[in-house]
C-alpha cells in the first residue's frame, strides 16, 4: 500500500489558472507540471541573477574588438560575474572547461574560449553567458560584429535577431510552444536560411536546463501549453546554409555548421505572465 503524501504547494496549480489548465489538458494538450511554474519569490531570485547576466554581457559589448582572444572574453566573464557575487554556470558543467561559450563564424554553439583564437576584422561572434546567483540561474547570448563585417554576415545576424523578436511575440498565456518555432522557422526560410533542428531552448530557473525543450522547427498550435509562471529561453540557431552540423571530436563540445557557412544566434529568457510575457534576460 502506498503511503499517503500531503501535496505541497509546488505540486498544485495556482487557483487562478487551475481550471484553465485542466480545460486544455482535457482537450489532449500537453501542459507544464506545476513545479515548472515559478513562484513570486523564485522569480525575484531569477531577476537578481538576470541582472548580473545582463551586466556581464553589457561589459563584453563595451570591450570586445578586433585583436583580442576569446580567452580574454572568458576572463572578463569570470571576473565580472564573481565581482557581482555570482558564478558562471558553464564552468565545470558536465565537464565544460570555461566560464562562457564563444562561437565565431561557422561555430553554431558551445565554442570553447582559447588564447589561440584571435578575433579578426569581419568576424561575427556569439557570446553566451549564464549565471548562478544564490541558487538561481539566468542565461542569454548576443551576437557581435568584429569591426566591419561583410553585408551577408550582417544580414544573417539581423535576421537571427528578428527571429527571436517574432518568436517572442507568440509568448502569451494559453498559446503553445509550437507557435514560437513556427514564427522563427517561417522568417528564417523567407530569407533563404535554415534553422538547426536538434539543438534548442530550454526551461531555466532553479536548474541550468529544465523542461520544456524548445524547438524552432514546429507548427502553430502544437507543443506544450504556455502557462503563466513558465520560464524558458528563446535561442534559435540560424544557419546561412544547410541546417546540418558536426561536433568537434577532440573536445566533444564545439558545434560547427556542416557546410562551413556562418551561423548566428541570439538568446533571451522569458517569463509567461497572465497578460503576455516579461523578458528576464537579454
Give 10-residue mean pLDDT values along the chain (282 residues): 36 93 97 97 98 98 98 98 98 98 98 98 98 98 98 98 98 98 98 98 98 97 98 98 98 98 98 98 98
What is the pLDDT at residue 1? Answer: 33
C-alpha cell at 122: 569581419
CA distance 254 to 201: 17
Q: Where are the domains of the chain?
A: 37-281
What is the pLDDT at residue 11? Answer: 73
Tell me how far CA of residue 134 lies from CA of 9, 99, 110, 191, 268, in angstroms. 22, 17, 25, 42, 20
Q: Does residue 264 have a cis bond before it (omega within 30 degrees)?
A: no
CA distance 129 to 11: 31
What is the pLDDT at residue 5? Answer: 35
What is the pLDDT at residue 127? Answer: 99
Q: 37-281 has which fold?
A: Creatine Amidinohydrolase (3.90.230)
Tell me how far CA of residue 74 lies from CA of 69, 77, 90, 145, 227, in angstroms. 9, 5, 11, 18, 36
Amino acid at each position: 500500500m502506498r503511503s499517503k503524501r500531503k501535496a505541497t504547494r509546488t505540486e498544485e496549480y495556482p487557483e487562478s489558472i487551475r481550471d484553465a489548465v485542466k480545460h486544455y489538458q482535457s482537450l489532449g494538450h500537453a501542459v507544464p507540471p506545476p513545479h515548472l511554474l515559478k513562484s513570486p519569490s523564485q522569480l525575484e531570485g531569477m531577476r537578481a541573477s538576470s541582472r548580473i547576466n545582463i551586466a556581464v554581457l553589457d561589459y563584453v559589448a563595451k570591450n570586445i574588438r578586433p585583436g583580442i582572444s576569446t580567452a580574454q572574453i572568458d576572463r572578463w566573464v569570470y571576473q565580472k560575474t564573481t565581482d557581482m557575487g555570482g558564478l558562471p554556470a558553464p564552468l565545470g558543467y558536465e565537464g565544460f572547461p570555461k566560464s562562457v561559450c564563444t562561437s565565431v563564424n561557422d561555430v553554431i554553439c558551445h565554442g570553447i574560449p582559447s588564447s589561440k583564437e584571435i578575433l579578426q576584422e569581419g568576424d561575427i561572434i556569439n557570446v553566451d553567458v549564464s549565471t548562478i546567483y544564490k541558487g538561481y540561474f539566468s542565461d542569454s547570448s548576443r551576437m557581435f560584429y568584429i569591426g566591419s563585417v561583410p553585408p551577408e554576415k550582417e544580414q544573417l545576424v539581423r535576421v537571427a535577431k528578428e527571429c527571436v523578436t517574432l518568436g517572442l511575440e507568440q509568448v502569451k498565456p494559453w498559446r503553445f510552444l509550437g507557435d514560437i518555432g513556427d514564427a522563427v522557422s517561417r522568417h528564417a526560410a523567407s530569407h533563404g536560411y535554415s534553422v538547426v533542428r536538434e539543438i534548442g531552448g530550454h526551461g531555466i530557473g532553479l536548474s541550468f536546463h529544465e523542461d520544456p525543450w524548445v524547438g524552432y522547427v514546429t507548427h502553430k498550435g502544437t507543443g506544450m501549453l504556455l502557462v503563466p509562471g513558465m520560464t524558458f529561453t528563446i535561442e534559435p540557431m540560424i544557419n546561412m546554409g544547410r541546417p546540418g552540423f558536426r561536433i568537434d571530436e577532440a573536445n566533444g563540445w564545439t558545434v560547427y555548421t556542416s557546410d562551413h557557412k556562418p551561423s548566428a544566434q541570439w538568446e533571451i529568457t522569458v517569463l509567461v505572465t497572465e497578460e503576455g510575457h516579461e523578458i528576464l534576460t537579454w
